[in-house]
């Protein structure tokens, strides 16, 4: 068997992905092991996990692929600072030392850390995104759109994939970037860049949703120009990110009617409208790109990757607005997923392996590529720690007990099988609750997640039940399995599903297939038989400031530090109240 390891690190989320004869064997972000959220350091622990899964050593690898070209990226950063000298002097001094360290010495770092002597190849950033979207998709032919902050120079790439080949024939370069526009407004609204963008997406429905009535939308139209050919350009005087350690300029603050919001300052209607306007502008830009790509390629299928592809509100509008008939989005669409893209690029382009079978050997039909623990391992760990727990003899007993607890208003940690690949909890490492409980959103936001009151929660539902409760695309695209699409809740169900229905009547649903996660699917169906609605609140299993839980220890610690009532750990049930000696009060907040 030939093995290819893909790596990403040093900017956003570090990750590793391993292919064996072109088949994805394992993939994980470094943060899940280091417990350092958005960990960008060299992914030693993620690599070790991937190699352990295949029972190989680094010397058994045939090729290692890195997700971008560090020297090209460094060239862009030098140009960026030199073009704005001397205004860029301070940020230049901050930016250069890390580049003179590990960032430029990736090859020697890989060899030193892994003791690896084989070949190492470097993909381009957006080519890695494109490969991560096309090769694991169900399509033999598809248009490709990648949109993020910035790679080496590109911020947006467009092209097509067919069989074994990817061709990216149009790019938009830095500083013109939809991702950086979104991050700039995220900073303006007082949230953390590269971590708070999804909060802005959740805040947007509280603002004016009309393009004619929202004054902030009309103002933001001055910030970005959308061309008829699908391109766009930012108006430079509204941004400082090229040469300052802040992103919004004084002119942008004046345009939006006030200074940058302090994180502890209350959110008011003006902030809500700005968030709504930003979401509308983002949709305008992405849909304009996609419509043009459809006209240029004539293809029916679209694949997406890059951080902006995690904007699930926009994703839910692509098919009806662009003419594409089907869509596939990489579940780990950001830089972490580019480790898989780099490995895919190496497998097909460098090693020359064909993609001539359907389904492709690299086809992703689920997102559970992280570590897993057997029921025996979970029970042994609980016993070793002296934790009181109950063990179920069969799955039906576990499901019945879980459904009863959820119907009674309990909040449960749900730890089953292998960990998810990407930022969404999909039933492997989830917190579950009753969506019909009107108090549940406040309970979860206040006592469990300890986060902002406006944040919505996602519903999980069997795929065959989705159209009954949601106004979704027909046929329903596969990215709904990965919580990447937002759709309206059907009006007759909105009052009955208060915990998952956002203020605008929408929900970011996750559809579940039985072949993907049998136990999770059966739980949803059983809850439907008990309550009349086969839907559960599904949010990520973590404490704010920490990544999603990875191990049984992480899960137990999270439960005991929050308001979670019980933990279903494989076939074991741990009840918080039965383990008072382990309880502690977390001062950290929880993040979705």
SS3 of 146-204: the string is: EECCCCCCEEEEEEEEECCEEEEEEEEECCCCHHHHHHHHHHHCCCCCCCCHHHHHHHH
Please name the residues in contact with 183: beta carbons below 8 A apart, sequence gap of 6 or more: 149, 193, 194, 197, 241, 247
- What pLDDT, on a 0 to 100 scale, did the predictor assign at position 445? 85
pLDDT at 535: 98
Catalytic residue selected from 12, 81, 450, 517: 12
Q: Which of 344, 353, 348, 355 is nearest to 65 (CA)?
A: 344
Intervals of CATH 3.30.420.40 along the chain: 3-135+334-350, 173-329
Catalytic residue at 10?
A: no
Cis peptide before 175 (omega within 30 of 0): yes
> Regarding beta strands 165-173 and 154-162, do their DSSP bridges make them parallel or antiparallel, or are they unpaired?
antiparallel
- Per-residue pLDDT tens for 418-472? 999 999 999 999 999 999 999 999 899 887 887 788 888 999 999 999 999 999 9
558 vs 546: CA distance, rounded Å: 10
Average pLDDT over residues 203-217: 96
Q: What is the pLDDT of residue 465?
A: 98
Is the model's pLDDT at 591 over the cut of 80?
Answer: no
Name the pTM for this structure. Answer: 0.95
- CB-based contacts of 476: which residues, under 8 Å, 6+ apart? 463, 466, 467, 511
Structure tokens that stand for 136 in this block: 């694991």
Q: What is the pLDDT of residue 92?
A: 79
Query: Is the pLDDT confidence value at 49 over 90?
Result: yes
Contact 178, 282 (CB under 8 A): yes
323 SS3 class: coil
- Choose between 100 and 272: higher pLDDT: 272
Which among 513, 512, 519 is positioned nearest to 395, based on CA atoms? 519
CA 111 and chain centroid, separation: 30
More confident position, 243 or 127: 127
Q: How far apart are CA 318 and CA 217, in angstroms?
A: 20
CA dihedral 118, 74, 343, 130 (to 10 degrees): -160
Ranges assigned E (strand) in 394-457: 412-415, 429-433
List, for residues 85-121, the tens digit of each pLDDT value.
Answer: 888 878 878 878 888 778 889 999 999 999 999 999 9
Q: Return the pLDDT at 586.
A: 53
User: What's the pLDDT tens digit per position in 352-405?
Assistant: 898 866 556 789 999 999 999 999 999 999 999 999 999 999 999 999 999 999
Contacts 24+ apart (CB under 8 A), 450-453: 450/544, 450/562, 450/586, 450/588, 450/589, 450/590, 451/544, 451/589, 451/590, 451/591, 451/592, 452/199
Strand extents, DSSP E, 265-416: 301-305, 326-329, 390-391, 412-415
Percent of residues, the chain, with pLDDT higher than 90: 85
Extract the tokens encoding 470. 């949601």
Closest C-alpha among 149, 111, 107, 145 to residue 129:
145
Q: What is the DSSP letter of 576?
A: G
Residue 34 sits at the vertex; the CA angle it makes with 31 and 35, to the nearest 5 degrees, is 70
Which of the 8 DSSP states describes residue 241? T
Q: CA 496, 498, 503, 509 torsion: positive or negative?
A: negative
Residue 96 and residue 41 in contact, taking contact as beta carbons nearer than 8 Å: no
- According to the model, what pLDDT value does residue 588 have? 42
Q: Is pLDDT of 28 > 90?
A: yes
253 is written with which tokens?
A: 């603050």
- C-alpha 569/C-alpha 416 separation (Å) is 6
pLDDT digits (tens, 9 = 90+) for 526-565: 999 999 999 999 999 998 789 999 999 999 999 998 889 9
CB 67 within 8 A of CB 73: no
Give helix then strand counts, H and E, for the chain.
21, 21
pLDDT digits (tens, 9 = 90+) for 161-202: 998 899 999 999 999 999 999 999 999 999 999 889 999 999
Domain 173-329, architecture per CATH:
2-Layer Sandwich (3.30)
Written in H, E and C, the secondary structure of 157-168 is EEEEEECCEEEE
Helix, strand, coil proportions of the chain in percent (round to 5)?
Answer: 40, 20, 40
Q: What's the CATH code, domain 3-135+334-350?
A: 3.30.420.40
N-to-C CA span, the chain: 38
Q: Are 455 and 202 in contact (CB under 8 A)?
A: yes
Domain 375-582 CATH assignment equals 3.90.580.10: no
pLDDT digits (tens, 9 = 90+) for 146-156: 999 999 999 99
Mean pLDDT of 18-28: 96
Q: How far is it, in rounded angstroms, from Cα 180 to Cα 149?
A: 5
| pLDDT the model gives residue 359 | 59
- The residue among 49 and 87 whose pLDDT is bigger is 49
The whole-number pLDDT of residue 388 equals 97
User: Quick one: pLDDT at residue 12?
Assistant: 87
Mean pLDDT of the chain: 94
């Amino acid at each position: 068997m030939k093995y290819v390891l893909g790596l990403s690190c040093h900017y956003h989320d570090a990750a590793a992905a391993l292919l064996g004869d072109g088949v994805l064997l394992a993939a994980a972000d470094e943060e899940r092991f280091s417990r350092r959220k958005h960990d960008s350091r060299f992914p030693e622990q993620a690599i070790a996990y991937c190699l352990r899964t295949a029972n190989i050593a680094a010397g058994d690898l045939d090729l290692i692929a890195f997700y971008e070209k560090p020297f090209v990226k460094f060239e862009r950063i030098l140009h960026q600072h030199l073009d704005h000298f001397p205004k860029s002097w301070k940020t230049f001094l901050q930016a250069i030392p890390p580049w003179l360290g590990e960032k430029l010495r990736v090859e020697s770092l890989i060899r030193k850390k892994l003791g690896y002597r084989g070949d190492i190849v470097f993909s381009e950033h957006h080519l890695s995104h494109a490969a991560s979207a096309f090769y694991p998709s169900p399509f033999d032919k598809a248009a490709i759109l990648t949109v993020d902050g910035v790679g080496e120079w590109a911020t947006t790439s467009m092209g097509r994939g067919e069989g074994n080949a990817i061709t990216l024939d149009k790019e938009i370069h830095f500083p013109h970037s939809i991702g950086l526009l979104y991050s700039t407004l995220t900073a303006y609204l007082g949230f953390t860049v590269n971590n708070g963008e999804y909060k802005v997406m959740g805040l947007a429905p509280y603002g004016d949703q009309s393009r004619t009535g929202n004054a902030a939308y009309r103002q933001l139209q001055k910030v970005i120009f959308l061309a008829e050919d699908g391109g766009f350009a930012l108006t430079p005087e509204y941004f400082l990110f090229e040469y300052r350690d802040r992103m919004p300029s004084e002119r942008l603050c004046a345009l939006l009617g006030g200074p940058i919001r302090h994180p502890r300052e209350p959110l008011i209607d003006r902030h809500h409208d700005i968030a709504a306007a930003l979401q509308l502008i983002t949709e305008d830009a992405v849909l304009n790109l996609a419509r043009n790509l459809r006209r240029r390629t004539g293809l029916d299928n679209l694949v997406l990757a890059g951080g902006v592809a995690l904007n699930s509100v926009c994703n839910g509008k692509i098919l009806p607005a662009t003419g594409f008939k089907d869509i596939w989005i990489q579940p780990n669409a950001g830089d972490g997923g580019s480790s898989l893209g780099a490995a895919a690029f190496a497998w097909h382009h460098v090693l020359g392996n064909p993609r001539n079978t359907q389904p492709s050997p690299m086809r992703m039909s689920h997102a559970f590529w992280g570590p897993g623990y057997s029921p025996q391992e979970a029970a042994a760990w609980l016993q070793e720690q002296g934790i009181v727990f109950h063990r179920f003899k069969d799955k039906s007993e576990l499901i019945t007990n879980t459904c009863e607890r959820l119907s009674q208003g309990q909040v449960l940690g749900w730890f089953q099988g292998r960990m998810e690949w990407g930022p969404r909890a999909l039933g492997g490492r989830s917190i579950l609750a009753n969506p019909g409980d009107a108090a549940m959103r406040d309970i979860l936001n206040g006592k469990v997640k300890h986060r902002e009151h406006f944040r919505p929660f996602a519903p999980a539902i069997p795929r065959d039940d989705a159209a009954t409760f949601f106004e979704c695309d027909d046929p329903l695209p596969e990215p709904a399995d990965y919580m990447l699409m937002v759709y309206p809740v059907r009006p007759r169900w909105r009052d009955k599903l208060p915990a998952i229905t956002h203020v605008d009547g929408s929900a970011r649903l996750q559809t579940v297939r039985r072949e993907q996660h049998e136990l999770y699917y059966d739980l949803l169906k059983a809850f439907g038989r008990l309550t009349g609605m086969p839907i559960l609140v599904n949010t990520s299993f973590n404490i704010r400031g920490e990544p999603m839980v990875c191990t049984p220890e992480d899960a137990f610690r999270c439960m005991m530090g929050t308001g979670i009532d019980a933990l279903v750990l494989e076939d074991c049930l741990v009840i918080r109240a039965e383990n008072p000696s382990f309880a502690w009060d977390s001062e950290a907040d929880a993040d979705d």
